[in-house]
């Protein structure tokens, strides 16, 4: 595992009312959720970035109001109608 070091102002911890360790954990989760939402990471990889199991990550998505289903409207319509988008 790689280690990344960043500098943050003390006020950031106070503003979120979190200890540095909690803040880092929350930051990892927020980044993983956003990258998943953008389609840059799978659920499994996002969970790994967040330091969670996949089930825990899926549960965390609800807190961020992000759907665990990453389908476009066209993909969802094709799935529901039985069409093959690749054809």
pLDDT tens string, the chain, 87 residues long: the values are: 788 888 888 888 788 888 888 988 999 999 999 999 999 999 999 999 999 999 999 999 999 999 998 777 777 778 788 766 555
Q: How many separate domains does the chain show?
A: 1
The confidence score (pLDDT) of residue 85 equals 55
CA 20, 23, 25: angle at the middle one, nearest 5? 110
Note whether residue 43 is domain-resident. yes
Residue 63 lies in a domain: yes
pLDDT at 84: 60
Whether 29 and 46 have beta carbons less than 8 Å apart is answered as: no
Query: In this structure, is residue 85 part of a structural domain?
Result: no
Question: What is the domain range of residue 44?
Answer: 17-80
Residue 22 lies in a domain: yes
User: How far, rounded to the nearest angstrom, does the alpha carbon of residue 53 sit from its chain's CA centroid?
Assistant: 12
87 in a structural domain: no
Q: How confident is the model at residue 81, as a pLDDT?
A: 84
């Amino acid at each position: 595992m790689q280690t990344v070091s960043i500098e943050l102002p003390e006020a950031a911890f106070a503003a979120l009312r979190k200890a540095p360790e909690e803040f880092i954990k929350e930051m990892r989760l927020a980044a993983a959720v956003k990258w998943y939402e953008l389609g840059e990471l799978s659920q499994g990889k996002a969970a790994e970035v967040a330091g969670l199991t996949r089930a825990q990550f899926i549960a965390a998505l609800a807190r961020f109001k992000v759907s665990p289903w990453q389908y476009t409207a066209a993909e969802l319509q094709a799935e529901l109608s039985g069409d093959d988008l690749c054809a």
